[in-house]
Chain A
Amino acid sequence: MKAHEKYEMYMMQYAEGTLSEAEERELFAYLEQHPELLSELEEWKELRVSPDTTIHFPDKNMLLKNPGAQRIPWVRISLAAAVLLLGILVFPKLFVNNDNGVKTSIVSQTTIQSTEKVQTTEPQLAQTEQTPEKPVIMPFQPQRAPSKVISVKHTQPDPVVVVSEESIPEIAEDIRPLRLPNFTLLDETPVMAKLEEPILPPQPAGMVMEAMIGEEEYEQETESKGLLKLLPIKQKKLANMETIHASLNERVEQVKENWKNTSWSIVIAQRELFTINF
């Protein structure tokens, strides 16, 4: 590069403000020797192009996006919901603690049957390890359990409804079926269902078939009482039904109470996916 070209470059950089101090000293030393170049330096300073600020993009709103139109991650939401639903449907016994006491358990979903086996053969071990603070770790816990559900109880248990153990079959406590108090029918006669009979079209006078129940008192009852009385169940049987209904309600309340303050952790391949707190 010739000397003049070099100092032209320096002059441009000086006009742009990018010249270093050493280069600047060198430039002005050269300009002292060549004062005719000072006017050229002024010309370099004039070469800054400024934008025309009157030019605007015509339709800026066309470029803007609606913040509410962001994509909802439906795939992730549906996947999580599917996993949860699958867990509840396929392994409902893992989620519902049928023993009314405080039960902390770690159960492998792949070994439900072996859980039953161990609990039946070693009942003492299972009982001694049932504490609210510590989770029960089964001795047969498989080495490579791919997934597990952890249910942790945080509060004290509700009073346990004691039912005679004779009527309960020997199965694992975690999957013990619903217990109902024993009751007996007040009337030994079988329940008669009117709706089991075919409903025939109206027949001419004289050919009307008599109802299977046939008693006048039943017709009087249906006329005088509500819809419940339309059911072909004798009043005497209703007492038993109410007993069943009351016991079911009680059981549902117990299950609800057990679910309160309980957290479920879904763990697959030793990774906790999510925790549900009730």
Chain B
Amino acid sequence: MDTFGYNACVQEWADALFRFACKCTGNREEAQDIVQNCFAILWEKRNQVTIEKAKAFLFQLAYRKSVDHFRRIQKVRTGEAFPDQVVADTMPSTDLKRILNQALDLLDEKDRALVLLRDYEGYNYEEIAQITGLSASQVKVYLFRARKVLKEYLVSVKSVL
């Protein structure tokens, strides 16, 4: 991949990667750092990564860094409830999209990333498996588990309303 290909990747995927990292980490500044790191690594390895594989490569990096960040933060917040989670419990929204976004915060880092890769980027199970290092059947099971959590949250919010 040459410089023009790299710049095309920036134009094409920077925003999507940033949204993914934002949702995975729940932190805008951290997501910005992750995106910068991902593109810095892509630039370093541009001779080994083709432009067709660049998107999966970027999301793979972002997934790993987001999971690492999530685990690091979780150690700091041991025993504390996430602020977003509190907001989701106390401020139910009538907007379905917003409810689902709040419900995403209930998921653990891996399940959330799987849902985002599936819904945000439209990856199939095999592609998600390549990005996350899981098997396709594991991806299917984890996605089912995550969707079930979202469904239960959605049902609970609706019952309150």
Q: Which residues of A contact B (CB under 8 A)?
A: 8-9, 12-13, 16, 18, 43-44, 46-52, 55-58, 60, 62-67, 69-70
Check B18 against A56 for contact (C-beta < 8 Å). yes
**Contact at B147–A55, with CB atoms within 8 Å?**
no
Which of B14, B22, B150 lies in contact with A63, CB distance below 8 A? B14
Please list the residues of chain B having a beta carbon within 8 angstroms of any beta carbon in chain A.
2-4, 6-7, 10-11, 14-19, 22, 32, 35-36, 39, 43, 96-97, 100-101, 104, 115-116, 118-120, 124-125, 140, 143-144, 147-148, 150-151, 154-155
Give the CA-CA distance A13 to B148 in the complex, in Å.
Answer: 12
In terms of DSSP, what is the predominant structure of the interface of chain A?
loop
Which B residues are CB-close (under 8 A) to A70?
A: 2-3
Residue of A nearest to B17 (CB): A57
How many A-B Cβ pairs are below 8 Å? 81
Q: Could you list 11 examples of A-B contacts with CB < 8 Å?
A: A9-B140, A12-B144, A46-B96, A49-B119, A51-B19, A55-B22, A57-B32, A62-B36, A65-B3, A65-B43, A66-B3
Min distance, Cβ A66 to any Cβ of chain B, angstroms: 8
Compute how far the CA of A66 lies from the CA of B3 in the bound complex, rounded to whole angstroms.
7
The 8 closest A-B pairs by CB, nearest first: A57-B18, A49-B119, A57-B14, A67-B3, A51-B120, A63-B10, A63-B39, A56-B15
- Do B14 and A47 touch across chains, with their CB atoms under 8 A apart? no
Contact B125 A18 (CB under 8 A): yes
A47 touches B36 (CB 8 A): no
Instruction: Decide yes or no: A48 and B35 within 8 Å by CB, A18-B125, A60-B10, A64-B10 being known contacts.
Output: no
In the complex, chain A residues whose CB is within 8 Å of the CB of B150: 47, 49
